[in-house]
Every structure is written in structure tokens, then in C-alpha cells.
Homo-oligomer: A and B are copies of this chain.
Amino acid sequence: MPKENKSPTMADVAREAGVALGTVSRVVNGEPVGKEFREKVNEAIRKLGYRYNPSGRALRTDRTNTVAVIIPNTINPFFSMLVYHINIALEKHNYKMMLCFTEYDRDREPEFIQLAQHNRVDGIIALTYHPSLVIPEGIPFVTIDRFFSSSVPCVSSDNFGGGYLAARKLKELGCTNVAFMRTGSAITNEPSKRRDGFVSACVEMGLPFEVICLEDSEPFEKFEEFLTRHLEHGRMSLDGLFVGTDSLAWKIIRILRKMNVRVPEDVQVIGFDGSRMFGEQEMIVSTIVQPVREIAETCVNTVLTRDFSNVPSLICLPVKYAYGGTTKE
């Protein structure tokens, strides 16, 4: 009889079913067991409400069924959605998530990697910015939006294609003079390709364009200067903007409105990410939508791949354009 007030163990189940401890373990793990025995064990499990103890299993197998997720925060809706879908995907696989917020502090990235390893996680999914981050070996490691080497799988959306699409869309909507704006170009990562795709399409279509990238250290006011510089007699010489992220697009639009420039009548703006207010249908701005859920699921499936040796090193997921009120319909 199992002790009151304590969850039953395999030994309790074995006693109840009149079989050996090992047999219970085999049933629990789905290993081949004679039909009669299996039924007896399952009956006892049901009766006692038995569930295996993760700590016991982890101690024995050295697998914790936990994956660490390293990400700046959960405030940006894109990160928030990412974490959301990663957690759901992990749960589906009976895995737990260990959530680590770096707050964009590069130094915390290696610290969390260490912490995760100390906690014996079975894998790590990380969205990082440390310029010379070293990826540990011997543990499945998947990165988001940043390519390290062919031995570290990187999952991202088609950033080049997204930039390309944005340029074509602006042209299609009647723009004749466009610009790309972004911030934080300290490291070269997949999102950097948004610019390349944009430029590539502009050149291809013969669409005049400009590019302004702000380093992390540069003051935000430079964007304001840039925009004012294009203001002639109260009219913008630019009529289309592609902005690196929805978050930045939102800020830019606020500046434009303060300058009495109408969006989308005078200037059309396309962002990147696909952020939605309160998770509703409508986008916050017209944007290139990242397939967040697919990205999350791909990360999870990849990091849980047993044979990590022949996993693709760069997985690129398709994006699409979505109207969000800051372009002409």
C-alpha cells in the first residue's frame, strides 16, 4: 500500500500488480511486455494514478526533457509569439521550456548558455546578438535569425525575399522614390538581408532608392533628420518607406505624423514582422509577415532531432505581405 499523501512509485505499482519493478518500467516506456502482464500493470497504474517521476528518470537517463530558450524578452510581440509557439510545440513533444531573458545584454547570452548546460537541458534555442558568441558542442543548438556555421542549424524567415517583396509592393502601389530604414546593424545576421533584397528589387525595377542604417550607438534623432531632409515646401520627396521592423515602423510613422506628413496618402510605409495588436486579425502596420508559428515549430523539431549530424544548416521559411493601414489598399 503506498504511503498516504505521497505520489505512488513504480514499486507501488509493481506490488499492486504483483509483478517486478522492471516490468512496470518496461510498460511505462512502451517496451515489449507480455499482454497479460501489461494489462495487470496498466490496471494498477490507473488504480493508483501513477505518473513517472521526471527527476528519477532524468537522474538515470541524463535527459531532462527540457529545452532552454534564450531570447531578449517577451515584450516585443514578435518574441512573445515566438515563445508562445515554441512552448506549445515543446509541450506537444512532452518537453518543458526553460525561459531565459537576455534583455539584449550580450554578456548574459554566454551566461545563460552555461546555466542551461548546468541544468542539463537537452537542447538550446537561441536568438542572440553577442558578436563572438561561442556555441557549445555536444548539445543540440538551434539559432534563430543568425547563421554561425554549418554545424549550427539556423532557422529564419526569408528575409531577402521579404525585402524584395516589400520593394515590389511599394512600386506596385505607385511609389516612385523609396527608402529603406533600419537600426542596430552591429552584427550581420539574417535580418540584414532585408536590406539586400530590397536594394536588389529596386535596382532590378529601376526604382530610385536610399538606405539609412543606424548603429546601436547613434541617436534616434538621425532618422528625424533624414526625414526632414526630404521635406521640401511641406511635401516629402519620398513616397515609400520599407522599415526593418514593425516596431521601428511604428516610431517612424509617429515622427511623420508629427511632421504633418500623411500616411499612407503622402508616404506609404511597410514594416517587417507581422505584429498584431492584441493578437487580432489586423496588423499594426502594413508589413512583411514572418511565419512565427512555423519558425517556432521548426526550431523545436530541429532541436529535438536525434541525429543532429545531417540536419540542414539554414532553414528559410516563406514570408508574405499583409495590409495594415499604412499603405494604399
Residues of A that sit less than 8 Å from B by CB: 5, 7, 51, 53-56, 58-59, 64, 73-77, 80-81, 83-84, 87-88, 91, 96-101, 117-120, 138, 246-247, 250-251, 275, 277-280, 284
Cα distance, A77 to B75, chains bound together (Å): 8
Question: Is B279 in contact with A250, judged by CB distance below 8 angstroms?
Answer: no
Nearest chain B CB to A311's CB is how many angstroms away?
Answer: 21
Whether A74 touches B80, Cβ cut-off 8 Å, given contacts A55-B59, A56-B59, A250-B277, is yes
Cα distance, A75 to B74, chains bound together (Å): 10
Question: Is A84 in contact with B75, judged by CB distance below 8 angstroms?
Answer: yes
Contact of A55 among B55, B77, B91 (CB under 8 A): B55
Contact residues in B for A51 (Cβ distance below 8 Å)? 118
Cα distance, A56 to B278, chains bound together (Å): 42
- A90 nearest in chain B by CB position: B99
Cα distance, A56 to B58, chains bound together (Å): 8
Contact residues in B for A54 (Cβ distance below 8 Å)? 64, 119-120
Question: Is A76 in contact with B119, judged by CB distance below 8 angstroms?
Answer: no
Nearest chain B CB to A277's CB is how many angstroms away?
Answer: 6
Whether A55 touches B120, Cβ cut-off 8 Å, given contacts A80-B74, A284-B277, is yes
Copies in the complex: 2
Nearest chain B CB to A78's CB is how many angstroms away?
Answer: 9
Cα distance, A76 to B97, chains bound together (Å): 20
Question: Is A64 in contact with B73, judged by CB distance below 8 angstroms?
Answer: no
Contact residues in B for A73 (Cβ distance below 8 Å)? 84, 279
Nearest chain B CB to A167's CB is how many angstroms away?
Answer: 24
| Other 15 A-B pairs with CB < 8 A, given A55-B120, A247-B278, A275-B278 | A55-B55, A55-B59, A55-B64, A59-B59, A73-B84, A73-B279, A74-B83, A75-B279, A77-B77, A77-B278, A87-B101, A88-B101, A96-B98, A246-B278, A277-B284
Cα distance, A74 to B82, chains bound together (Å): 10
- Mind listing 22 A-B residue pairs with CB under 8 Å? A54-B64, A54-B119, A55-B58, A55-B59, A55-B120, A73-B279, A74-B80, A74-B81, A74-B84, A74-B87, A75-B81, A76-B279, A80-B80, A87-B101, A91-B100, A96-B119, A97-B99, A99-B99, A246-B278, A247-B278, A250-B278, A275-B278
